[in-house]
Structure 1
Amino acid sequence: MKKWRYIGIFLIVIAILAACSKKETPEDRLSAYIKLWNDAEFTKMYDEYVSEASKDAFGSSEYIDRTTKLYKDLTITDVKVVFTKSDEDKNYKPEDQPEFPVHITMETVAGPVEFEKKVIMTYSKSSEDENWFVEWDPSFILPDLTKADKVGISTISSKRGEIFDRNALPLAINGKGYEAGIVPEKFNEERDAEKLATILSVTPEFINKQLTQSWVKPDQFVPIKKVASTQEMIIEKMIEVPGVTYTQVEMREYPYGESLSHLTGYISRINADELEKVKAQGYGENDSIGKRGLEQLLEEQLRGQDGIRIYIEKTKQEAERITIAEKTAADGNSVTLTIDAELQQRTFNAMNGEVGTAAAVDPKTGEMLVLTSSPAFDPNEFMIGVGSSRYQELTDDPLQPLLNRFAATYAPGSAIKPITAAIGLEAGTIDPSKGYTIEGKRWKKDESWGNFGVTRVYTPPNPIDLKKALAYSDNIYFAKEALEMGKDTLTEGLKRFGFGADIPFSYPLRTSQISNDGTIGTEAQLVDTSYGQGQMLMNIAHLASSYAPILNDGKMFKMVLFKDEPKGEVWVEGLISADNAAILRADLREVVVNGSAKDANIPSVKLSGKTGTTELKSSQEKGGKENGFFVGYQTDETSYILAMMIESIEDKGGSSYVVKKVAQVMGN
């Protein structure tokens, strides 16, 4: 038995020794190499599996360093190298150089790359080890790559989506501008640098820096600053300087300039803080991004996605370029607004740089035709980048041209009276035929009001009914009627008209309010609220829309800004009956014919509407500033309601000053 036991042990040892002495096949070695390849173990691959001939030809810098760098630069991931071993047992001789096909796929910054590679295995001695080794060259990294070739990445530019008005007029487009620059040999820096710096709003030091770059040649154009196509004055001044010229370049354009600046906003070069927030979305330090208005609000929609191309430049073949992978560019989506650019510009021009805002809405559809804020800024100037001194100048301007007023709220004054009247008529507390006999310009209910009282500007003939009260904008009449309807009725009525609710609109607008806490606490606050003062604040677009029920027999539609949005969707209905709406329409025509808006009684078109004046008093002064309003519409064929507010009209004729401007817009 012992004899057979020793024989068994002997046989096992022989088998083990035979197994240990068995050499790996080239397929075994290639399989092990490919496993390391899939795991990007480049150093181990080089040290243990690459032939000495390949090491001599390329070295570790080409194999390890270049491969690692390309993987990083090209964002190569998900590498899958597939080699299928043969089922046949084949005996390989040391002098053989078997060739095996492998299939390589990977993901890159420019998309997938897929190719076949023939791998040659040679038998040799390396580091005292005789085995099969891979004959490597750079085409293992990318197809057709050689040591002398250069791998490059180029961007395929996308186009930003454009913004158009309802009539396809351009509001924000990919247009043309200018690149101002210098031909050094023709430019006297010592004499003219400061002059040019002033014209272009740069510094002489910046000009010197541009001119002393390593690539600059005496006869070569050196770019200094981009200039918008609207800045003709700058072009005219700068080309008077010897050696200064310009070239045309692609640039975002805002053809309607200031009149639409607060709505369109602008794009500009991304800054460091912005880049930090959005770099994960593919933005780079040379990209532009929406900074205000719709350019910012619709950034995701308007922004195009640049494409990218990975290529090999065959330096030994007359710089032939071979594309390895390419991700095509995707242009941004353009948008069409309901805005009427010509009406908007006419409205803005009528405001003539005065501080204020205006909005126009189609009462039958809710389409917004005008949204403007005055004064404004030139988005073309901001698009190319304003210097710190220029920006500070605009910031310090007491007229605040950077403030978007159509998104804000203001006390509407007497412009709210038709809404108060509609609430009272529907509640049955206002009898349009009932007249009050009111003497004097100041009235208070009784001594319980203390020093509080209600004043009026006009003294219409008694008795004063609803028609006269609207025509002459009589605060006392509305104070009396507010007491009749009570704070609950007025509050609920105003809420029905959208006060205190988010305005259903695609552009963020501040919510209109009845008061700071949404309630009416005292009789004084009740009467003040009835004629648009107290703590009442209203958005200008909401004010224009609130007149729509008077023209639509009680319906107020959701405001619409984009052409592809549903139109005519009811926001609130049943606000006023057809009969009561007819009463108010007749009364608002009377305001223009015989009342406070006579300046709108023009021959070219029949208008109706309501004026409003808000007193803005402070405890430090006896008087105060006044904001003037007028909400007007064409009486017979109403295509839009235009609401306009101008600040500080106390020395300009009051609300009549605004009436003239609205009539100027609507009479053209």
Structure 2
Amino acid sequence: MKKKKMVYIAMGIGAIIIPLIISMVILFRYNKANKPEDKLSEYMNLLNSKEYEAMYDMIDNESKGKISKEDFILKNKNIYEGIQANDIKIEVKNVLKQGNEASIDYETSMNTSAGDLSFSNNISLDRESGKKYNIKWNSKVIFPELGDNEKVKVNETKARRGDILDRNQIPLATDGNSADVGIIPGKLGDNKEKSIQKIATILGISVEYINSKLNMSYVKNDMFIPIKVIADGDERVYKLLEIPGIMVNNKDARIYPLNVQAAHLTGYVQNINAEELEKNKGAEYTKSSVIGKTGLEKIYENKLRGIDGVEIYIQDKDGKKKTSIISKAVKNGSNVKLTIDSNMQSLLYKELENDKGASVAMNPDTGEVLALVSAPGYDPNDFVMGLSDDKWKSLNEDINKPLYNRFQSNVAPGSVFKPITAVIGVDSAKIDPNINKNISGLSWQKDSSWGNYFVTRVSAYGGDSNLLNALVYSDNIYFAKAALDIGKDIFKDKLNSFGFGEKIPFEYGLYNSQFATDGQFKTDVQLADSGYGQGEILLNPVHLASIYTLFQNEGNILTPYIEYKESEKSKVWKANVVSKEAENTVLQDLIQVVKNPSGTGHQAYIDGLTIAGKTGTAEIKLSQTDTEGTELGWFVGMTTNKAPNNLLVVTMAEDVKNRGGSHYVVPKVKKALETIK
């Protein structure tokens, strides 16, 4: 009986102790799995994800009694996103637990619009028995110096972007003012719809676009709602100000004074996008930064860009600065001075403004590029001030391709290539300038193996079929024979030595020139056609201008450059590609192309100037019998008696068939050459 009683007692004790042990184990495991520092980490992870509502759910009831969910979300969102906080990290230094309360000392680091910020902080947590920790929240959780009735302010000092200047300090791109056109909805008056229609008509935008802006959820009657940015001084401003509800503010903007004339050269800037922001992480860009998108604005971005000055500070309840949290000094961008002459740029663009084409002006004594023109152009100011969908669509669908950069590309050169064949032939002794090739008729083929293919020329001429006459009259047959005489291997090697197939050493990226798609002359027909600039020859206009500098520099090809250098010293890209004697022989013949009244370039003759030149008409067609193809017209003109200020101009115009071929282009180059005194 006694033994049985003892068993009951043991069972009773077990019934009490075992659940207690189990409870203690469960509580131990719960406490271990619910550390206060884990709660803080979870809170910070939500902050990085901008999940402000979930953050509010983690604070204790006492804190919730002091701040509503709406105010909590608004305060955290405005502060953290206002300072552009990201990559927020914490490092726990110490955890102190007393009963149901815990205190954590930790270090916070984050990236802000003013740079990397780190500071020490402390947070308190509590919990009811058996429940998870909750954060005892107040404004000091954000910044330890921040009171509940205080604000975090961001003061930005706008940096100036460097100017792009021509050689005479004339701005091609500069920071200036624009007109920010907006609407005060509550002042549109009784004829609201009529006013909106009038605004849309003047600005060239849709009524739907304006209404979409005015119907945003945040819009209030007394707010300024920006609609479109236009140029400062635009005459439309005066018409707009006559409409009720319109307000026009000054706004900082990037300005391009030459508009379409230098669009492809300067390019333009726009607000940075998310992809660019991520790519340039750590380079001090912010969401409000602008960045070069195309042209020199993009190429010289690192030099031109300014870094805004920023101060993040705490403002007390009286509106006074209490504490500076972090600041970054403003850093203005540097100017970029170019070799470009804005007058030459404008002149050459105006000569091509009704065409599709490209022009390059260069000083052949130095390699300085004086103009880079692609026509038609576009107005880069439109991209800065806001391009409507209709305008963007029209630019992309325009058959003249105004967004296509023609001086950057490479195309068939036609007969402007013949001097290259000539100088290679003379230098390699494969062409005797004085030998008469006895060419007759308007067509020729090497032999019957060419089948129905013939090399043709425009007209026969009296006199010997020698190098001089072949250049003066631009004889395709002569240069087809010359290429065959030079041979595939020598021609290929010499063209490679001229920089074909290579990256052109120029600040502005250009397409490589080529003499064959695979770098080989595959057939005699291809080789013969290449001799007069057809076949598979594709030449970049800047490269072509550089090659022609060999006629001014004893057989050396100069490096083209666009960033101004005070010394103006030339730099050789390809040294001694041909002999001085070879280049001089061809140069004298090119002078006759212009000077001789029978020369194809005689239209460019200017009394008092010694001009070397060469015309070229490149046929773009599917076959020799194709009559629907188009033609590119070229002319290269270069003064040779005005060192060190000689001028070399390359101009190409598309679709010159039935418009005079290359003769359509010659007067355009002459206009530029006439500026040399």
TM-score normalised by the chain length of structure 1:
0.79
1:613, CA displacement in angstroms? 0.7
Q: Give the residue type in structure 2 aligned to 1:375.
A: P
- The more displaced of 603-612 and 405-414 is 603-612
Question: What is the 5 A alignment of 1:139-158?
Answer: 142=143, 144-158=145-159
Question: What is the 5 A alignment of 1:126-275?
Answer: 142=143, 144-184=145-185, 185=187, 188-211=191-214, 221-229=224-232, 232=234, 234-235=236-237, 238-239=240-241, 241=243, 243-271=245-273, 274=276
1:540, CA displacement in angstroms? 0.5
Question: What is the 5 A alignment of 1:322-341?
Answer: 322-341=323-342
Answer yes or no: is the 8 Å Cα contact 2:85–2:110 preserved in 1.
Answer: no
Answer yes or no: is the 8 Å Cα contact 1:150–1:314 preserved in 2.
Answer: yes
- Structure exhibiting the larger radius of gyration computed from Cα positions: 1
- The more displaced of 474-483 and 545-554 is 474-483
Q: Give the residue type in structure 2 aligned to 1:485.
A: I
CA shift in 2, pair 1:213/1:490, >3 Å: closer
Within the candidate set 616, 619, 625, 2:620 is matched to 616
1:512, CA displacement in angstroms? 0.6
Q: Give the residue type in structure 2 aligned to 1:627.
A: L
Task: Identify the residue that residue 659 of structure 1 maps to in structure 2.
Answer: 666
1:261, CA displacement in angstroms? 0.8
CA shift in 2, pair 1:318/1:348, >3 Å: closer
CA shift in 2, pair 1:227/1:584, >3 Å: same
Answer yes or no: is the 8 Å Cα contact 2:155–2:310 preserved in 1.
Answer: yes
Q: Give the residue type in structure 2 aligned to 1:399.
A: N
What does the per-residue CA deviation read over 1:403-451, in whole Å, with 9 as the maximum and x for residues that have no partner? 1111111111110111111101110121222223322222223323221
Task: Identify the residue that residue 600 of structure 2 maps to in structure 1.
Answer: 596
1:205, CA displacement in angstroms? 2.9
1:209, CA displacement in angstroms? 4.1
- Does the residue aligned with 1:437 lie in a helix, a strand or coil? coil
Q: Give the residue type in structure 2 aligned to 1:617.
A: K
CA shift in 2, pair 1:324/1:582, >3 Å: same
1:214, CA displacement in angstroms? 7.3
What does the per-residue CA deviation read over 1:530-549, in whole Å, with 9 as the maximum and x for residues that have no partner? 11001110000001111111
- Does the residue aligned with 1:304 lie in a helix, a strand or coil? coil
CA shift in 2, pair 1:598/1:58, >3 Å: same
- Does the residue aligned with 1:592 lie in a helix, a strand or coil? helix
CA distance in 2, matches of 1:209, 1:105: 41
CA distance in 2, matches of 1:630, 1:622: 23
CA shift in 2, pair 1:154/1:248, >3 Å: closer
What does the per-residue CA deviation read over 1:456-489, in whole Å, with 9 as the maximum and x for residues that have no partner? 1232212122111111111122122222221222
What does the per-residue CA deviation read over 1:509-548, in whole Å, with 9 as the maximum and x for residues that have no partner? 1111111111112221111101100111000000111111
What does the per-residue CA deviation read over 1:237-292, in whole Å, with 9 as the maximum and x for residues that have no partner? 54564554523211011111111111211112345555565567565554433222
Answer yes or no: is the 8 Å Cα contact 1:415–1:629 preserved in 2.
Answer: yes
1:636 is aligned to 2:641: yes
Q: Percent identity?
A: 38
CA shift in 2, pair 1:448/1:71, >3 Å: closer
- Does the residue aligned with 1:331 lie in a helix, a strand or coil? coil
CA shift in 2, pair 1:41/1:348, >3 Å: closer
Question: What is the 5 A alignment of 1:48-63?
Answer: none
CA shift in 2, pair 1:580/1:445, >3 Å: same
Answer yes or no: is the 8 Å Cα contact 2:417–2:531 preserved in 1.
Answer: yes
Gapped regions of structure 1 (runs ≥ 5): 1-35, 44-54, 84-101, 120-125, 129-134
What does the per-residue CA deviation read over 1:93-152, in whole Å, with 9 as the maximum and x for residues that have no partner? xxxxxxxxx9999676345779999x9xxxxxx999xxxxxx999669746532221223
Gapped regions of structure 2 (runs ≥ 5): 1-35, 44-59, 95-104, 130-135
CA shift in 2, pair 1:450/1:214, >3 Å: closer
- Does the residue aligned with 1:174 lie in a helix, a strand or coil? strand
1:216, CA displacement in angstroms? 6.4
CA distance in 1, matches of 2:422, 2:128: 101
1:320, CA displacement in angstroms? 4.3
What does the per-residue CA deviation read over 1:143-175, in whole Å, with 9 as the maximum and x for residues that have no partner? 653222122334443333332222222111111
CA distance in 2, matches of 1:233, 1:472: 53
Task: Identify the residue that residue 16 of structure 1 maps to in structure 2.
Answer: none
What does the per-residue CA deviation read over 1:197-231, in whole Å, with 9 as the maximum and x for residues that have no partner? 2332332233234445677676765432111348x
- Does the residue aligned with 1:181 lie in a helix, a strand or coil? strand
Task: Identify the residue that residue 305 of structure 2 maps to in structure 1.
Answer: 303
CA shift in 2, pair 1:621/1:651, >3 Å: same
Q: Give the residue type in structure 2 aligned to 1:459.
A: A
1:401, CA displacement in angstroms? 0.7
1:189, CA displacement in angstroms? 2.2
- The more displaced of 306-315 and 70-79 is 70-79
Answer yes or no: is the 8 Å Cα contact 1:308–1:329 preserved in 2.
Answer: yes
Task: Identify the residue that residue 560 of structure 1 maps to in structure 2.
Answer: 561
Answer yes or no: is the 8 Å Cα contact 2:362–2:649 preserved in 1.
Answer: yes
- What is the Cα-based RMSD across aligned positions, in Å? 4.1
1:602, CA displacement in angstroms? 2.6
CA shift in 2, pair 1:269/1:103, >3 Å: closer
- Does the residue aligned with 2:393 lie in a helix, a strand or coil? helix
- Does the residue aligned with 1:440 lie in a helix, a strand or coil? coil
Answer yes or no: is the 8 Å Cα contact 2:285–2:307 preserved in 1.
Answer: no
Task: Identify the residue that residue 428 of structure 1 maps to in structure 2.
Answer: 429
CA distance in 1, matches of 2:41, 2:401: 62
CA distance in 1, matches of 2:521, 2:61: 91
- Does the residue aligned with 2:257 lie in a helix, a strand or coil? coil
Answer yes or no: is the 8 Å Cα contact 1:269–1:385 preserved in 2.
Answer: no
CA distance in 1, matches of 2:280, 2:333: 17
TM-score normalised by the chain length of structure 2:
0.78
1:611, CA displacement in angstroms? 0.6
CA distance in 2, matches of 1:629, 1:71: 60
Q: Give the residue type in structure 1 aligned to 2:622.
A: S
CA distance in 2, matches of 1:58, 1:76: 26
Q: Give the residue type in structure 1 aligned to 2:647.
A: Y
What does the per-residue CA deviation read over 1:321-361, in whole Å, with 9 as the maximum and x for residues that have no partner? 54222122333333222222221111111113301111122
1:501, CA displacement in angstroms? 1.7
Task: Identify the residue that residue 466 of structure 1 maps to in structure 2.
Answer: 467
1:568, CA displacement in angstroms? 2.5
- Does the residue aligned with 1:519 lie in a helix, a strand or coil? coil
Task: Identify the residue that residue 391 of structure 1 maps to in structure 2.
Answer: 392
